[in-house]
Structure formats: C-alpha cells, structure tokens
Structure 1
C-alpha cells in the first residue's frame, strides 16, 4: 500500500484528478476509492484462468465480477478513459476490462517481479514451476496490451524489456520507490532516547551500528553479524531490529562467538519510532545480499536511512547507483561480500567525522529529490 499511496502522491503533485480502483478498502484524502472486492481465492482463480482461457469463458466463470466492473465503468464513465493499475491483481483486471471494452486503455505500474518469486522457491518445485509458467504467460498478456508502463527504476525497465520485448515501445515513466515525506525531527523524543540508552546500556562513547528490517535470507542480517564480529571491540555496539526466518541462525552465531554483550536485539517496532532508533546510531547498515529484487528496486528502508542524516552503508545495486553516484549519498559495499562489508564499517569508524560532514545534507537532498512530491506524474 505504501507504493500505491506514493503513486497517488505523484498524481496529486501533477495536479491531476484520480479515481482509484483497487482491491482494498483503504482510503487516501483527495482521492475517490472503489473497492473491487476480490477474495484471496477469487484472485488466484482469476489470475490462473485469464492467461489460459478466452475472455468470454472468464466472463462466465466470474459473471458477478464482470457485472460489478461493468457497473463501475458505467457509473464513472470509464469507457473512454486510460486507467492506471498498480497492484498485481489490478493489472490483470486492467487487461480484463480493456478486453471487455469497459475502459479505453490501461497503464501498468511495475514495481515487482512476481514470476521470479515462484521460480526461486525450493519447496513444491513442480507446483511452483507451473505457477512460474502461468505467471509469465499472464505478464506477457497483460504487459503487451497496456498502453504505458511505470517502472520503479531504469534497471527494472532494462530487465523487463529483455524479458518482455513487446513493452519496449510503450510510453513510460520512471518512478522509484520513494517516501511521501521525511520523518519529523526527533528532538521531542529526547526522553525516549534516554530511556532506550539506559535500558540497553548504550553510552555516548559507543559506536552504534544499526540494522532495522526483516531477517530474510536475502536481507543480509546474518552477513552483517559476521562482519560485525570481524571488527567488534568494546566500544562497538550492534542494534538489530526485526524478526524473520534467519533470526535463530543469527542468535546461534551471536552466542557461539561470544558477542552477545555488545549486540542489542529488539523485535519489530512501530514505523513511527524508527527515527528515534536512527538518532541513536553512528551508522545505519542496509546489508542486503545480491538478489534480483534489490538490484532492480530500491528498498524504502534505504531512503528512510538517508533521511536520518546518518552515515549509511548499502549494497552497490544497480537501482541504488542510479542516484548514489560515486557514493555521493552513502557508502557502497559489494553485496554478499562479508569481508567488504566489514571493511566499510571499519572505514566509517576510522573516518567518522569526515563522513558525517560529507553526508550532513542527506536529509535536505531527500526532501528536495527523493519524495513522491518530487516526481509529478507524467506519461
């Protein structure tokens, strides 16, 4: 939903009005929402049938949905309109509505790669291979019939044009994963900052390394802990915020290597509290391993980290390098390379004052360049 709200912000910045068709009951000020009301089962069945059967067969099976979409098209006079769809189910609905002449055309917002998710699963291999083939067939159908495409990065555009050559001649817009606005100053939370420091015995002299995110295998938190072990000393502290599949593995490593006294483990926190923990840190690390998603799509946590005005370390992914030219915004390390990540952390420790000065204007840069308000919709 964060991406969808960001796209709405981009449209608002362009001065355009917008009717928002989406499979959600959420609302956003300034936009009219229409809930398409697809259940989880209906969503899967609809996406399974659409690339395998003629549209008139899908119409018969989903007759009530077809009638509901037809009523929406009539109510809002969509028959001669171009409509933007920005979620995987909704993009499929865009194709379905166009084929039934309920809309003139549709624009796809591509900010993920669903087929790859199925292809990479190691369980139920035959089932997921079938899902992969159907997903590719569906994407080919939906993308080739769209009038335009919104990409989350130039890297994603290049990738998709190789995978789906039929979209290479479509009109397009590059709209990265950004934030709608930057967090407020945390000075009003001084009391909470002191409480956290007291709770975890963090002193003003400690060099604090912060990670906040999911313990996914591709998220790199295990790599970060290994890198921290290579450079740890009595003045270094590592704060890990989050949960996930690799957490037991991380805990085992911490205990086995006797570094538990300098590592702070915190479960998930409210997103609104993230700036408080960022203010405690000396450096924020986004340790993602090399993977196709990070290479093609910038993580929101990276932009959040930059807006904290702290020194940031992030992998040298193609998507990030599109605006982090020559480490102008953050330090880069080779993804999946633990030794290089350790070297970058040590470099920050040894050159901390210099780097704080170098990146002291990051929040202003994010305000002026990396929010959805800075990308007015244009396609």
Structure 2
C-alpha cells in the first residue's frame, strides 16, 4: 500500500474545523496501520498519533506572505513565486526529495492546496490530491454584497476573480479531490470542467473521536455560578467564529425577540471575530446584557461543559454558498452533545438531516424564522427531546472519521 503524505502550513495552535479534520483523518488512518507522514508546523506533537512520522517545515511564513503567495499564483505564474520565495521552495524541495514519488500527496487546507500546485509546476512532486477546506471566492462574494461603498465592493469583486482563477489552476493540475458533500461536488463539477476527470473522494466534515469529551463537573458549576444560571432558566448556547457569514448578530436579535415572550430565556455566546463589536452593540441597544452573555473565546476542551449547561445549541449561520456545500463542525459538535439543536436548512445539512430527524431547522438569514424555532424549542421542549432522543448516539456511531475513513483506502 502506498504511503500517505499530508502537507499543511498550519501550526495547530488554534482549534477549529480545519485542524479537527486534519487530525481526524491522520489519526484514523494511523489506526489502520497505514504508512503516514505529516509535513507541518505543528507545535504540540502529542495531538498526532505516535505512528505518524512527522517532518517539521521549520520555515516561518507570515500571514502577509501567505496572502502574497496566493495572489501571485492567481494573477501571474509560478516562476514569479519562485523568484520571491526561493528559500521556501528550497526548503520544501529538500523535504519532498526524501519521500517516495509513489506516495499519495495530500494538501490539506486552502493555502496548502495552492502550495501543492506550486510544487507540481516545479516538478518537486509528480501529483497531488486536494482536500477542499474553504472556498475563498464565496467569502469575497459575500463581502462584496455587504460592502457599503463602490470602492470596497470592487475590491472584493477583484479578489473573488483572482481566487477563482487560482482555483481553476489548482484543480486543473490536481490528480484528485477530497470533497465534503454531494452539493460541493455538483458545484465544482459545473464550475470547473476538469473536476469530474479526477480521482475524487467523498469524505464529509465529521467528528474526531478524540475531540468528543465528557463535561467537567467543576467547570459546569463555575459556569452556572459566574453567569448566575438557575434551574428555571432556559439556556441557548452558541460557540463559534464571529465572522461575516456566521450569523451571530442575527442570533442575538432573534434572542431579543424570544426574551420578550419568555422571561426564563438566556443566551451564552462563545467566540470572537470581526462581528464581535457589532454583537456588543446589539446587546447594549436591546438592553439584554442581564440575559445575553458574550464570554469570549474558550478552549475547545471546555465546549462540552458549556453544552452541559445549555438546553438548546444554536448554529445561526447566514445564507451563504459555503454553508450550502459543507456541514460545519460546530453543528456536529452540537448534535453529539445530546441537546436540542437549531441549524440553518442548508443543502449540505439536509443531506445528513433528511426529514428533520437530527435537529430543528430555520431559514438562514431570516431572524423571524430563527426566533420562531427558538420559541418552539421552549414551548415544545419535552416533545422535541423525545423526538431527537438518540441523535447523539447516531452521530458518534456514524458521523465520525473512524467510520468513514475507508473511502481514502479503497
């Protein structure tokens, strides 16, 4: 069997959907006694199975350089990047020269995909497989539509054009693609004519068994005390990034509506990001600071303890093309908790949530629809808990990398 070689510039210091996916795939393949090498900047080696061989990149790359590499690959050619980043190319060439050209080279995240293209054009590697973690064009398109002035709008439209041009180059040269949903496959197959000619693998975003942990009783007690929660409160919870498409402001506005009907309702909001200041303003303007708690970013291992104090976990993402293609890890985390869950009715979600058998769904970007489902959760709590009983067991038995990893081996 061929050796798998995974490449990522990620240092794994921030836990999120991308790092959970990489570690989930790596560690489950290792359990199959498959030969695996990880090339990365990972800081904490204990996160990776001991059977995985690790080659450190040992070449610091700034956020600005990462953007420049993608920009240059999108608008010019790989020789331009060679001239500007010759030391990086030399280091990567040195690393890959020690590996068999017969290996399966998998490039993990969005920037990594571009590096795979760059290395192949320089004949450092014979082929590469992309795991699609992000669609930059979608993000720029969303930001362009939200822009307040023409200059900003045109800037995002230009960035979208460059991102899609880079995608075409990267996908055309790839030998294979790992895609996360049927909706994603359909999108790329329509957009890039070479997509269906590749060796493609359907591997959804799933849970990593190692990240599913029991709650900490001491921490649960501290959370209840610090936020003044009591047994009569009905607690909604959100945990995730405060990004443009994340819908956290929509959630807080919806909660303000729910609070007017139900005095027992409270909301805990975990995370940070670009829309944090906007959320603070909404809390202040709606005068709900005594019921809505913005607690900032928390370590991933504390998530289960916050879930324990919640009655309902809400994933409020706004309508966006990316969510139509990928099930977010926060949704799977929420389902695994055993609590009631509310999520947007995206195509990717409906692929695994047929007939609404896993969670409640609302119309994305519709604050009234979200508020209605939140209110429904309060008024029909016992009935809904009976309906969704056993969802967490299903998720932990079926929707994990452990139970889906064979797609890469077949």
TM-score after normalising by structure 1: 0.89
| 1:52/1:270 CA distance change after superposition, 3 Å | closer
Alignment match, 1:8: 26
Please say if 1:31 is aligned against 2:52. Answer: yes
- How far the C-alpha of 1:71 sits from its partner, in A, is 2.6
- Shift in Å, 1:377: 4.3
Q: Deviations over 1:238-293 (max 9, x none)?
A: 22223333334333333433433332332222221111111111111111111122
Contact 1:81-1:104 at 8 Å conserved across structures? no
User: Which of 26, 34, 37 matches 1:19?
Assistant: 37
User: Per-residue deviation at 1:326?
Assistant: 1.0
Q: TM-score, normalised by structure 2?
A: 0.83
Q: Partner residue of 1:102?
A: 124
Match for residue 92 of structure 2 among 56, 69, 94: 69
CA–CA distance in structure 2, aligned partners of residues 55 and 236 of structure 1: 55
Q: Distance in 2 between matches of 1:77 and 1:46?
A: 26
Could you say what the CA RMSD is over the residues aligned between the two structures, in angstroms?
2.5
Displaced runs of 4 or more, over 6 A: none
Q: Secondary structure at the match of 2:229?
A: coil
Q: Kindly tell me: are residues 131 and 196 of structure 1, through their superposed partners in 2, closer, same or farther at Cα, counting changes over 3 Å?
A: closer
The residue number in structure 2 matching 1:349 is 378
1:219 is paired with a residue of what secondary structure? coil
Are 1:89 and 2:107 an aligned pair?
no
Q: Which shows bigger deviation, 144-153 or 232-241?
A: 232-241
- Give the aligned partner of residue 176 of structure 1: 204
* Deviations 1:88-135 (CA, angstroms, capped at 9, x unpaired): 232223223333333232111112102333343546455544433332
Which of 111, 129, 132 in structure 1 is aligned with 2:160? Answer: 132
Structure 1 residues 103 and 185: CA distance shift in structure 2, 3 A: same
Corresponding position of 1:224: 251
Matched-pair contact (CA < 8 Å) for 1:107–1:149: yes
1:266 match: secondary structure: strand
Alpha-carbon distance between aligned partners in 1 of 2:74 and 2:286, rounded to the nearest angstrom: 52
Residue 240 and residue 56 in structure 1: after superposition, are their counterparts in 2 closer, same or farther (change >3 A)? closer
Q: Which residue of structure 1 lines up, in the alignment, with residue 15 of structure 2?
A: none
Per the alignment, residue 354 of structure 2 pairs with 325
1:156 and 2:200 matched: no
Matched-pair contact (CA < 8 Å) for 1:13–1:377: no
CA distance in 2, matches of 1:60, 1:331: 53
Tell whether 2:282 aligns with 1:253. yes
Per the TM alignment, residue 190 of structure 1 is displaced from its structure 2 partner at its CA by 2.7
Match in the other structure for 2:273: 244
Other-structure match for 1:312: 341
**How far is 1:58 from its partner?**
4.8
Could you say which residue in structure 1 is the equivalent of 2:14?
Answer: none
Q: Counterpart of 2:298? A: 269
Instruction: Note the C-alpha offset of 1:194.
Output: 2.7
Give, in angstroms, the shift of residue 62 of structure 1. 4.1
Cα distance, 1:316 vs. partner? 0.4
Structure-2 change in CA distance of 1:377 and 1:60 (3 Å): farther
Deviations 1:50-81 (A, max 9, x none): 35555556545544444333332332233x33
